[in-house]
Amino acid sequence: MTTLNTEIFHHDSDVDVTHKINTMELSNWINHLKYIKKELVNLINICTADLNEKLEDYSVEERFQKKKVENEILLEALIKYSNSRSNIVECEDTQCDMAYINEHESYRRSYLYHLDKYRRLKDEFFNKVQGKFTLIKIN
């Protein structure tokens, strides 16, 4: 978000510091979800019919596809939320500031929940894959 200066100054109020930290955190979430988007494309491409057969689990690719859609929905929501935060500078009372802070906490919970579910899915996939491949030595 470029409209809100995220540099923290000594004269900033606690609320200003909170908004700036939340802005930086939001930027990190968006970047992370963009990376997950790329990673999911790679994982889906890895899940060929041969791999699904070796894993004896044909739902792997489907579950990654579903997670890709969920990731895209959350990413779009966070980008939209990020754009709406440009109005923070216009807050003139505590009620307005608290509305932004509470909204951010809600998005934090959604992000962390999504991240936990994605990591569990990926861990499950890698646990299944381990031991299913044989490396071919080329001399």
Q: What is the residue extent of each domain of the chain?
A: 15-129
Helical pair 60-84 and 14-46, crossing angle rounded to 10 deg:
150
**Of 78, 96, 76, the residue nearest 88 (C-alpha):** 96
The CA-atom distances, in angstroms, between 67 and each of 30, 112, 118, 131 are 16, 14, 7, 25
139 has pLDDT over 80: no
Write out pLDDT tens, residues 100-121.
Answer: 999 999 999 999 999 999 999 9
3 has pLDDT over 50: no
Write out pLDDT tens, residues 38-77.
Answer: 999 999 988 876 777 777 777 888 999 999 999 999 999 9
pLDDT of residue 72: 98
pLDDT of residue 34: 98
pLDDT of residue 1: 33
